[in-house]
């Protein structure tokens, strides 16, 4: 980890190049440690259900996911914190099998994949906010057992506890997807039932 220009100003002399020693070599912080804390993602979605048969259907739509992370950097006696917030818009595609149905209440199993696109990335350091590098597209696969209640025949509200695996997208952005590529999750949302 390089010493910042502000910290290096304490050691500057006339003609000194900020961020480097007299020989032009970079200055590194000693005893540096960074602690990462990744919070569970929060997702909301609106999807459409297209029946294939009496028990099978395809589901797709739009899902919003918010990732929050806290980074604590420690260098000697200096401690500072950063908060990272990433916003994703995802396109899921899954197959559903209806296990049980009674009036407007149904239980189903689902499996499929999702592509998430990072639309906004924000980093806050000691009260200073700035936009940062966006993450690359994130691909994942998963399965879930869902429950849906149809408010009216065309619209239902659903909840899906399940498991999902996120593939490494090769980016340098640190987030929950890379820290726990396989994890349990709960997704809630509204679903449009197309008959």
pLDDT digits (tens, 9 = 90+) for 80-123: 788 999 999 999 999 999 999 999 999 999 999 999 999 999 99
Predicted pLDDT at 20: 45
pLDDT score, position 13 = 45
Q: How is residue 28 annotated by DSSP?
A: B
State the pLDDT at residue 62. Answer: 94
pLDDT of residue 168: 95
DSSP letter at 173 equals -
- Provide Rg for the chain, Cα atoms: 23
Which residue carries 């994890």 as its tokens? 183
Strand partners, 127: none
Q: Tens digit of pLDDT for each residue in 7-45?
A: 666 555 444 444 444 455 555 555 667 788 999 888 888
pLDDT digits (tens, 9 = 90+) for 63-85: 999 999 998 887 767 777 889 99
Give the model's pLDDT for residue 35.
Answer: 86
pLDDT of residue 33: 77
Q: How far is CA 176 from CA 8, 53, 66, 135, in A?
A: 33, 37, 10, 12
* Average per-residue pLDDT for the chain: 86
**Measured between alpha carbons, how far is 141 from 163 in angstroms, rounded to an integer?**
9
Neighbouring C-alpha atoms within 13 Å toward the C-beta of 76? 6
pLDDT for the residue numbered 11: 55
pLDDT in tens, 122-138: 999 877 888 988 999 99
Can you give the length of the chain in residues? 195
Q: What is the pTM of this model?
A: 0.77
Q: Are strands 182-193 and 42-51 parallel, antiparallel or unpaired?
A: parallel
> What phi and psi, each to the nearest 5 degrees, are found at residue 50?
-115, 110
Sequence-separated (6 or more) residues with CB below 8 Å from residue 9? 18
Residue 173 neighbours by CB distance under 10 Å: 19
Q: Are strands 42-51 and 56-75 parallel, antiparallel or unpaired?
A: antiparallel
């Amino acid at each position: 980890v390089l010493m910042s220009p502000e910290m290096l100003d304490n050691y500057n002399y006339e003609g000194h190049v900020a961020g480097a020693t007299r020989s032009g070599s970079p200055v590194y912080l000693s005893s540096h440690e960074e602690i990462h804390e990744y919070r569970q993602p929060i997702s909301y979605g609106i999807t459409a259900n297209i029946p294939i048969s009496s028990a099978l259907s395809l589901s797709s739509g739009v899902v919003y996911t918010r990732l929050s992370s806290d980074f604590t950097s420690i260098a000697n006696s200096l401690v500072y914190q950063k908060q990272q917030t990433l916003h994703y818009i995802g396109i899921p595609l899954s197959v559903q099998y209806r296990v049980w149905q009674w009036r407007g209440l149904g239980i189903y199993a689902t499996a499929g994949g999702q592509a998430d696109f990072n639309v906004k990335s924000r980093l806050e350091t000691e009260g200073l906010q700035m936009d940062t590098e966006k993450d690359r597209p994130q691909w994942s696969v998963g399965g879930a057992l869902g429950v849906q209640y149809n408010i009216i025949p065309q619209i239902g509200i659903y909840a899906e506890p399940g498991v999902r695996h996120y593939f490494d997208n090769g980016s340098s952005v640190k987030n929950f997807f890379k820290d726990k590529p396989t994890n349990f999750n709960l997704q809630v949302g509204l679903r449009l039932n197309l008959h």
